[in-house]
Amino acid sequence: MDKLRSFRRGNKISRFFRHIFEHRKIQSVLGSNLAVMLIASSLVPGTTNAQFLQSNEADAVIVVQETPLSTEHGVAFPLEKVKINQGYHFFHPGIDLDGEIGDPVKPIMGGRVIEIQHSRFAYGNAITISHGSGLTSLYAHLSKIEVEVGQEVTIHTKIGEVGSTGYSTGSHLHLEIRDSGRPISPLSFLPRRN
């Protein structure tokens, strides 16, 4: 009676397959067929890597690409002197770097300028740079912007100057880094300070 009740529980389809796969004869047939297939597939000769390489040797193309040597650092702080006034947290998706009005601002890494903002509110004068693969950086509260949309920049390019525009309580640089639009802590990305 208990066996009959157990078959009546659950969805009709699951009861059907449970009924079929719980039979010992079906389990032994399936198990033995799988074992025979595994043994047979290991005995059948296949193409080895050496045979594949020999057969395609004439079709091989060798590409030589020169890589220019560069001593340029990949990632750098945007200001020469680094003093963090405010860190990254839930309500502040970037860091504030202390600076005097007119201090030169450079990108954290090479890329292309994709947006320039001029506002009396929020970020004030701001630049957004795309670094590829969905990575962008935003530089806000600038007193002066020295690049244009579409311009390619390196870590040596002066993109602007520190200021106090927009919603700002004093001269500083607000830096945000985003990965595919999602803010990440700039300190997890920038090099460690000594």
pLDDT in the model for residue 32? 72
Nearest to 136 by CA among 99, 175, 89: 175
Report pLDDT digits (tens) over 18-35: 666 666 666 666 667 767
Q: In which band, very low, low, confident or very high, does the pLDDT at 81 lie, cut at 50, 70 and 90?
A: very high
pLDDT in the model for residue 39? 76
Q: In which band, very low, low, confident or very high, does the pLDDT at 151 lie, cut at 50, 70 and 90?
A: very high
Q: In which band, very low, low, confident or very high, does the pLDDT at 47 lie, cut at 50, 70 and 90?
A: very low
The model's pTM is: 0.63
DSSP helix/strand/coil, 173: strand
What's the fold here for domain 84-189?
Answer: Glucose Permease (Domain IIA) (2.70.70)
Torsion of CA 13, 14, 16, 22, to 10 degrees: 160
DSSP helix/strand/coil, 120: coil
DSSP helix/strand/coil, 175: strand
Q: In which band, very low, low, confident or very high, does the pLDDT at 59 lie, cut at 50, 70 and 90?
A: low
Give the start-to-end residue ranges of the domains of the chain. Answer: 2-55, 84-189
